[in-house]
Structure formats: structure tokens, C-alpha cells
Chains A and B, each alone.
Chain A
Amino acid sequence: MSWLRNLYNRIKLEIAYRKKLKELRKRDPFIYK
């Protein structure tokens, strides 16, 4: 079952990364609309 836990952790990390990137994009007034 460790593959399932690994997959879950990778998805969790990917979601956190995308969320942080989205927040960061909002700081760029010339690109973020």
C-alpha cells in the first residue's frame, strides 16, 4: 500500500505547489488578469 501513500503525497504536494503558484501570479500586475 506504500505506492498508494506515495501517490497521495505526490498529489497533495502538487496541489500545494499549484495553489502557491496561483497566489504568486496574482502579485504580477502585468501578466495576471
Chain B
Amino acid sequence: MILVAGGDSIIWGSELEDSPHGGPDGYSRNTFAALLAGDEYHCSAYPGIGNSQIYSRIRDDLTWMKPCGVIVCWTWPSRDNELDSDKWIIGLQQYLKYHDYPYLFTCVDNCIITDNPAIDWDRWYMFPPGQGADQTETPRGFYQWAVENKYSIGADGHPLEQAHLDAAELIKEKFNELVKKSI
């Protein structure tokens, strides 16, 4: 049973050692999404895309495959020239619920969080708030959490292997509760 992951370069695994290029099968198996999935993993993510494309790529892939679960790491809404990405999030949430796919959402930055009651926030994993004076005091996205905790970052700014490894460990409990138990 395959797990599908959506997102941008973070989920593609840009700058991770096992991600040689941006072409077919160039994605990493060491991102937190891939580590949670284990052996059977399909990556719908692609570097530089916005949330509208994250939504479409997953929808397209689900027309030809039936995964056991879906994990999505939403990116910055400004990539679509939007102040929020609620319509894409709600659209995918409705689709996944309608088709009974277990899923977990997370994000790279908490600027995507709104007070929209139509979004099922119980199915989101947010990284713990920072403790330091220069850290984000509210639940964080993966990128904020990795940078503020001073994990190694690649030359182009992507958090490297250790951040993904520790992130997978943090998300595991929620992932098991929402996705794995349904498999």
C-alpha cells in the first residue's frame, strides 16, 4: 500500500543527498514524509510550486492510484498571489474525506493558518512553539521549526537530513493515529 506525499521542494527533498535532480524519480526518500511512509512511497511534490499546484498534482495522482494515505505539507500562500490557501486546503480536505483517504496535513510556515472553521484543524500536525526570545511563539511549520532550532541548512536554504529525521519522529504519533491505524 502506497502513501502519497504532496508539497514543494521541502517534500521533494531538494538538497538532500539522495535527491540527485528535479527530474523523474529525482525525489528524496529521506524527507519526513518518506520516512513516515516507509518503503511504499509516491512523491507528488515538486520544487517551487504553490498550493494550487500541490492540490492539482495530488488530485491528478489520485485519479490513477489508490494510496493507503496522503500527507501534505502546504507551502507559502503568496506563491499563488493569495493571502491564504483556504480554498485549496478545503478542496483537498473535502476530496480526501469523500473518498475515505486517511490523511495528515502540515505546513512549512504557520502563516497559512487561518480561523476558517471549514478546515478540519484536528487533522493537522503543527511543530511545537519556540521557547527562545527570537523564536515563533505559536505552533510552527516545518521550515520555521527547523531554522529556529538551527538544524543544518543547505546552500539554497533547505533543511537537511537531520531536520527531516527529527521531524518524522515528532509527527509519528499523529501520523499513526490519523493515517496508519486506518491502513
Instruction: Decide if B79 is an interface residue (CB 8 Å cutoff).
Output: yes
Instruction: Decide if B48 is an interface residue (CB 8 Å cutoff).
Output: yes
Question: How many B residues face the partner with a CB closer than 8 A?
Answer: 17
Please indicate the chain B residues that have their CB under 8 angstroms from the CB of A27 in the complex. 76, 78, 109, 111
B150-178 contacts to A, CB under 8 A, are 156-158
Instruction: Decide if A4 is an interface residue (CB 8 Å cutoff).
Output: no
Instruction: Determine the main DSSP class of B at the interface with A.
Output: loop
Question: How many A residues face the partner with a CB closer than 8 A?
Answer: 10
Is B157 in contact with A21, judged by CB distance below 8 angstroms?
no
Instruction: Given A28-B76, A30-B157, A31-B76, answer yes or no on A21-B111 (Cβ-Cβ < 8 Å).
Output: no
Query: A1-28 interface mask toward B, CB cutoff 8 Å, 1 = contact, 0 = none?
Result: 0000000000000000100110011011
CB distance from A27 to the nearest CB of B (A): 6
Instruction: Decide if B116 is an interface residue (CB 8 Å cutoff).
Output: no
Is B48 in contact with A24, judged by CB distance below 8 angstroms?
no
